[in-house]
Amino acid sequence: MSDGIGNLPRGPARVLKAATWSWQGLCAAWRHESSFRLEVILLLLLGPLGLYLGGNGVERALLLGSLLLVLAMELANSALEAIIARYGNEHHELAGRAKDMGSAAVFVLMVNVLACWGLVLGPRLL
């Protein structure tokens, strides 16, 4: 019985192939998802600021990592929406619920950004 991945390259070739697929996904998200583009721009603006303002490695990881989590969830949400769109645009309660939940997951991680940045930088400002 095959697990479906037996024909994939092994070792460095497999890593390169996986990186190629990941790059294709990032490019597709950039081309087709305005929310992803906005979040990348926010990462490019806030990421260096977080690295500068973080007092130590843990703080820098929280400030930058919280931004990266939003991007990761936006990619997953966009993938979910693409799968739903593949099966048609007619309204279906479960499809609507899935899309709403994907959007909610992105929102929760945006709240996480605010919490991380507020908890790390807030005490310095007060």
Going by the annotation, the residues of the binding site for a divalent metal cation are: 33, 81
Annotated catalytic residues are 74
User: Residue 109's closest CA among 61, 73, 58, 77?
Assistant: 73
Going by the annotation, the residues of the binding site for ATP are: 14, 33, 81, 90-92, 99-100
Going by the annotation, the residues of the binding site are: 14, 18-23, 33, 60, 74, 81, 90-92, 99-100, 103
